[in-house]
A and B are shown apart, each in its own frame.
Chain A
Amino acid sequence: MATILVNGIKREVQASTDTPLLYVLRNDLELSGPQFGCGLAQCGACSVLLNGKEIRSCITPLSAVGDKEVTTLEGLPARWAKQKGLTAEQAAKTLHPVQEAWIAEQTPQCGFCQNGMMIKATELLEHIPSPAVAEIKEAFTSGVSPHLCRCGTYTAIIQAVQRAATQMAKGAKVL
């Protein structure tokens, strides 16, 4: 049993501490953003942010989370709202600019990998607000493994990252 901080909320989980975080998120906490792709940290479908750093939840045991904050795809809108100091009412009507850009660019095909792509994009844009194409390619191909998309949506991902960067520079868009 362990208590972990996920998307700003402390959650108690019964799973054994050797359980990979991915199964805890999906099965115990019913957070379905991260997907099982390989279980080997080779594809990125399971990515989440751990204190703002993209990690592969499929190989990260529950015991390694400690008191660090986990942010999943579900938590991106609240993360953005907090960063921009939005009210709870405003936050409820807001998506993260990365998600908005993914919609505007019609980025996904099957979409199964896009959780990891959006998590990676969020990490990148929090560090480099206006990345060049080469920096985007570097981000998505470095680290523990490249982020893989079998549908080949890389062009649309780059365009969405650039669109999100523009939107984030403008600040919060409240609907």
Chain B
Amino acid sequence: MIASQKESPSNVTDVFGASLSRRGFVKTGGALLVGFGIAGANGTSKVAAAVTGHTLNPGLSESWIEIHADNTMLIRVGKPDFGTGSVFTAYRQIVAEELNVPFEAITRVISGDTDRTPDGSGAFDFLGGGMPNVRKAAAYVHQALLDLASERLGVPKDQLSVRDGIVSGGGTRVSYGELVRNRKLNLTIPVKGDVTSMDGLTVDGDPPLKPVSQYAIIGKSFSNPVTVSKVTARETWVTDVRLPGMLHARMVHPKTLGSKLVSVGPLDKARFPNTQVVVKGNLVGVVAPTEWEAIKAAQQVAAGTKWTDWKGLPGDGRLFQFLKEDADWKTTPTQTSKKSTGDVASVLAKSSKKLSATYQLPFLKHAPIGPAMAVGDVRSDGTVYVYTHTQNPQALRSGIARMLSTSVDRVIVRSFAGPGHYGRSNGGNAGAEDEAVILSQVVGKPVRVQWMRQEDFQWSTQSSAAFSDVEIGLDTQGNLAGLQIDHYMPAMQDDRLVGAILAGLPTIPAPNEKGAVIGVENDSQDPWIYDGTPAVLERGHGTFQIGQNSSPVSIGLRDHSMRTPGQYQQNFPRELAVTEAAVLAGADPLQFRIQHTREKRLIAVLESVRDTSGWKTHSETASTTGGVSRGQGVSALFRGGSYWACVANIAVDMTSGAIKVEKMTVAVDPGIVINPLQLKRQVEGGTVMGLSMTLLEELRFDESGIVTSDWRSYPIATMGDLPEIKVVLINRPEVGKYGQGSEAANALAASAIAGALFDATGKVARRLPLKPAYVQALLKA
């Protein structure tokens, strides 16, 4: 739904709120549609008075959970939805569970708008180690409601019970809605932290929580109501935001990742009479009344614009040589995993069988299906509105305020649905926001900036390339006796606004500069899971982003976390090496894993994929018929409280080297499963992304910049690549926490598929992606 005042004035309360379409939608939707999104009678008015400096007061309970007289509720969360729907499904289930109200009683969720939500943070770690803010906020509200009910009914609190939002006790009853009618809860939500920081505010304290054994709503497969608006074209996507007087813009980005502007190309004013060219430092934007004019005019300007040349990158052909020989790994402190134990050097020296190898992963793109896009509106009173699809609106708010040297109180970021980009904006910006704001400030009108496909590949951040050196030693019984892994990866959390850099405006420091806080060191976040290994040393080594220091504009190859960051890079070498160690020991790779851990949850996921996939013991597996060899591989992972295991079954064309993944079996134990259907869909999607990264994806770059420009030069998996996918969800209420369910599904495929290739062919592929030419060369070697 295009959100313009012209089209639906009756729905517009604050021009273009994220909730607009959902509210408008239900009105017109008919019986088929879920009654979600209807604001309660009071809408957001209750908290209007609590907004100071465009920030909601997090101490007020109604900033988090608003209870209406009709017993319906509204919740507000800083984390925006990014496609998983967790704020519309899991969060409502969590709140409904703690408050003992039906899931359907929560009729509206406001998320991701900086002036309408209390806690900030971003679209990552939705379940917060089992204690997301909404769970604690709901628990506090529940206690306050019981206090009110006790007073009203004259019944001691411990003799009250709640069912479907009705409090009963002593033969009397009262609904939540009646309790709060014309009354405020006697409650202040305690919080700590900085709302514009990466993690936002955290609800403090230790309110009593509903026992997991009494759960009735968590564990059920509720639908995501936003699916309805998305498949009926009633969603207000970020691409649909239209402001009065808004202009369209396209950028003219520099020739290289280290170029400076020499001169701006001419624009034919007769052809484009209403088009403006905006130049600020090395930032060039073309602003026009219509989108098509902006595109054509920008092409004309770009053709005549001159930039300095720069060659400061190694080029993808020399990437790993550069990382090994030229990169500075000394400035950044080395991180040692907490799971490191024993004297690895002496164990390796005494080992009867050894393996020593290097594993390499290329740069990847987040590659959203739609390119970066945002609307900026710098108003005459100095307030700045940004309409975008970002994972971390409050962090973006801070970045925009810094860029403009203004207070965060004057910046408002509104979140909308958009193309998922899997971590690219978890520290604030996805790409175009800062440029839209800069152009709006210059032209004095709202400006919509959309990057073209090529720009989204060439001017966005990348997921870091990495390599790891592994040494493994077996004892005389074939057990894993010692293992040393050194992971090497450039800094990967560059949250600087690239438009601000080009325009010469203030930004946060680059990774590895003094004052940078995150993403510099290469943490070993995913602990070694095979605790039966006597000696382990796992280290992470970090370095500067490639080309950043030599780029005259401090750009180079900017990196950013991407789905399962760090662990994705580390788990491929770790898990493929474990498979190689098993083969070296003459053991079955799956049983070898089970034998090297005492963790029952890990053993259970491994047994689950073994049984579900039809895993065959090592000696009877590989078969070659008609020039095609088949094999199986296994991998495992622990991340964010969840245990994972995966089996890949593949077929390898022994002539061409082409790999066809025939089946992927994935088991996950996240502790408590909140919503089985949504989790299953997320795991299926992550599995496909992992397959895509393993077989197809690699950023191509030369000495000046990124060469990858479109879906032909950066192919991703299509439906034709889809294997049979089996997902097993293991619900463990006894764990008492909700682990990160879905994110890590992409980090399992690479080591499982490479393990299957080893099984099928006897060849080990230690460099991703596993393209046919590479595999073919291995087969011939």
Cβ of B608 < 8 Å from any Cβ of A?
no
B82 touches A92 (CB 8 A): no
CB distance from A57 to the nearest CB of B (A): 13
Contact B689 A74 (CB under 8 A): no
Q: Mark B698-734, 1 if CB is under 8 A from A, else 0.
A: 0000000000001110001111101001000000000
Q: Is A137 an interface residue (CB 8 A)?
A: yes
- Decide yes or no whether A165 CB sits under 8 A from chain B: no
B150-183 vs A, Cβ < 8 Å mask (1 yes, 0 no): 0000000000000000000000000000000000
B276 interface hit (Cβ, 8 Å): no
Most buried by B among A95, A103, A140, A151: A151
Residues of B within 8 Å of A115, CB to CB, are: 233
Q: Which residues 19-48 of A sit at the B interface, judged by CB distance below 8 A?
A: 19-20, 23, 26-27, 30-33, 35-40, 42-43, 45
Among B227, B240, B453, B687, contact of A152 (Cβ-Cβ < 8 Å) = B687
Q: Is the CB of B231 within 8 A of A15?
A: no
**CB-based nearest A residue for B82:** A110
**Which stretch of B132-140, B278-286, B630-638, B674-682 is in the interface?**
B674-682
Given A26-B2, A154-B722, is A109 in contact with B233 using a C-beta cutoff of 8 Å?
A: no
Interface string of B406-421 (1 = CB under 8 A from A): 0000000000011110
Measured between beta carbons, the chain A residues less than 8 angstroms from B446 are none
CB contacts under 8 Å to A, within B364-379, are 367-371
Choice from B228, B369, B717, B720 contacting A113 with Cβ under 8 Å: B369
Is the CB of B4 closer than 8 A to any CB of chain A? Answer: yes
- Whole-angstrom CA separation of A37 from B451 in the bound complex: 10
CB-defined contacts of B262 to chain A, threshold 8 Å: none
Contact with B along A136-175 (1 / 0, CB 8 A): 1100110001111111111111100000000000000001
Asked if A111 is at the interface (CB within 8 A of a chain B CB), the reply is yes
Tell me if B224 is interfacial: C-beta within 8 Å of chain A.
yes
B688 at the A/B interface (Cβ < 8 Å)? yes
Q: Which of A37, A114, A149, A151 contacts B231 (CB 8 A)?
A: A114
Q: With an 8 A cutoff between CB atoms, is B546 at the interface?
A: no
A111 to B716 alpha-carbon distance, docked (Å): 17
Known A39-B453, A152-B685; contact A118-B292, beta-carbon cutoff 8 A:
no
Query: What residues of chain A lie closer than 8 Å to B211, measured between beta carbons?
Result: none
- B759 in contact (CB, < 8 A): no
B2 touches A112 (CB 8 A): no
- Tell me whether B370 and A37 are in contact (CB under 8 A): yes
Interface of A is mostly: loop
B233 lies within 8 A of A31 (CB)? yes
Given contacts A15-B290, A40-B453, A102-B231, contact A146 B688 (CB under 8 A): no
- Whether the Cβ atoms of A23 and B227 lie closer than 8 Å is no
Is there contact, CB below 8 Å, between B369 and A37?
yes
Q: Does A93 count as interface, using CB distance less than 8 angstroms?
A: yes
B30 interface residue, CB < 8 Å from A? yes
Which residues 223-276 of B have a CB within 8 angstroms of A? 223-224, 226-228, 230-233, 235, 237, 239-240
Residues of B within 8 A of A154 (CB): 688, 717-719, 722
Given contacts A40-B453, A108-B231, contact A150 B367 (CB under 8 A): yes
Q: Is B692 within 8 A of A15, CB to CB?
A: no
Does B277 make an interface contact (CB < 8 A)?
Answer: no
**Which residues of B sit under 8 angstroms from A145, Cβ to Cβ?**
711
On chain A, the residues within 8 Å of B147 by CB distance are none
Q: Which of A19, A92, A155 contacts B722 (CB 8 A)?
A: A155
Rounded to whole angstroms, the CA-CA distance of A157 and B367 in the bound complex is 20
A48-73 interface bits toward B, Cβ cutoff 8 Å, 1 = contact, 0 = none: 00000000000000000000000011
A19 and B687: CB pair below 8 A?
no
Residues of the B chain whose Cβ atoms lie less than 8 Å from the Cβ of A43: 369, 711
Contact of B711 among A40, A118, A151 (CB under 8 A): A40
Known: A102-B227, A112-B420, A114-B231. A150 touches B453 (CB 8 A): no
A118 partner residues in chain B, CB cutoff 8 A? 231
Nearest residue (CB) in B for A72 is B233
Interface check B7, CB cutoff 8 A: yes
Whole-angstrom CA separation of A23 from B685 in the bound complex: 30
Q: Tell me the bound Cα distance from A33 to B236 in angstroms.
A: 10
| Whole-angstrom distance between the Cβ of B706 and the nearest chain A Cβ | 16
Q: Closest Cβ of chain B: how far from A75's Cβ, in Å? A: 9
Task: Please name the residue on chain B nearest to A150 by beta carbon.
Answer: B369
Query: B248's closest neighbor in chain A, by CB?
Result: A27
Residues of chain B contacted by A3 (CB below 8 angstroms): none
On chain B, the residues within 8 Å of A106 by CB distance are 223-224, 227, 677-678, 681
B689 touches A150 (CB 8 A): yes
Query: Residue A111 contacts which of B231, B684, B686 (CB distance < 8 angstroms)?
Result: B231
Task: Tell me the minimal C-beta distance from A86 to chain B in angstroms.
Answer: 13
Minimum distance in angstroms from A114 CB to a CB of chain B? 6
A73-B2 Cα distance, complex, nearest whole Å? 13
Min CB distance A64 to B, Å, is 15
A31 to B4, CA, bound (A): 12
Q: Is B452 interfacial (CB 8 A cutoff)?
A: yes
In angstroms, Cα B83 to Cα A158, docked, is 19
Question: Is B588 positioned at the interface, with any CB of A under 8 Å from its CB?
Answer: no
Bound together, the chains give a CA A115 to CA B235 distance in angstroms of 12
Whether the pair B292, A93 counts as a contact (CB closer than 8 A) is no
Q: Does B84 contact A (CB under 8 A)?
A: yes
Q: Which of A27, A32, A42, A149 contacts B233 (CB 8 A)?
A: A32
Question: Would B369 and A149 count as touching, CB distance under 8 A?
Answer: yes
Most chain-A Cβ atoms within 10 A of its Cβ — which of B82, B371, B711?
B711
B781 at interface, CB cutoff 8 A: no
**Bound CA span A103–B36, Å:** 14
Min distance, Cβ A80 to any Cβ of chain B, angstroms: 13
Bits for B393-429, please: 1 = Cβ < 8 Å to A, else 0. 0000000000000000000000001111010000000
- Among B240, B453, B689, B720, which residue has its beta carbon within 8 angstroms of that of A37? B453
Closest to A145 in B: B711
* Chain A residues, Cβ within 8 Å of B7: 30
CB distance from B86 to the nearest CB of A (A): 11
The reply to whether B240 and A32 contact each other, CB–CB distance below 8 Å, is yes
**Residues of chain B contacted by A110 (CB below 8 angstroms):** 82-83, 368-369, 417-420
* Given A112-B369, A151-B689, A42-B30 contact (CB < 8 Å): no
Q: Give the distance in Å from the alpha carbon of A77 to the alpha carbon of B418 in the complex.
A: 24
Most A CB contacts (10 A, CB to CB) among B228, B240, B291, B369 go to B369
Report B-chain residues with C-beta under 8 Å of the C-beta of A16. Answer: 292
Q: Is B127 an interface residue (CB 8 A)?
A: no
Could you give, for residues 80-94 of chain A, a 1 whenever the CB lies within 8 Å of some chain B CB and a 0 otherwise?
000000000000110
Which residues from A are CB-within-8-Å of B290? Answer: 15, 23, 27
- The answer to the question of B1 belonging to the interface, with a C-beta cut-off of 8 Å to chain A, is yes
Nearest CB in chain B: distance from A91 CB, A: 11
B49 at the interface (CB under 8 A from A): no
- CB closest residue in chain A, given B226: A111
B31 touches A175 (CB 8 A): yes
Q: Are A157 and B230 in contact (CB under 8 A)?
A: no
Q: How far is the CB of A33 from chain B (nearest CB, A)?
A: 4
Please give, as numbers and ranges, the residues of chain B lying within 8 Å of A19 by CB-CB distance. Answer: 292
Asked if A155 contacts B684 (CB within 8 A), the reply is: yes
List A contacts of B688 (CB < 8 A): 152-155
Closest residue of chain B to A149 (Cβ to Cβ) is: B369
A103 and B222 CA atoms in complex are apart in Å by 12
Contacts of B227 on A, CB cut-off 8 Å? Answer: 102-103, 106-108, 111
Give every chain A residue within 8 A of B422 (Cβ-Cβ): 150
Q: Mark B645-661, 1 if CB is under 8 A from A, else 0.
A: 00000000000000000
A-B CB contact pairs (8 Å), 24 listed: A27-B290, A32-B2, A35-B370, A36-B239, A37-B419, A38-B710, A39-B453, A45-B369, A95-B32, A95-B232, A100-B32, A106-B224, A108-B230, A110-B83, A136-B719, A148-B718, A150-B689, A152-B688, A152-B692, A153-B681, A154-B688, A156-B684, A158-B722, A175-B32
Beyond known contacts A31-B233, A35-B370, A150-B716: 17 more, CB 8 A cutoff: A36-B371, A42-B712, A77-B232, A108-B230, A109-B420, A109-B685, A110-B420, A112-B418, A112-B420, A140-B719, A141-B720, A147-B718, A150-B367, A150-B368, A152-B684, A155-B725, A156-B684
The 4 closest A-B pairs by CB, nearest first: A152-B688, A110-B83, A110-B420, A152-B685
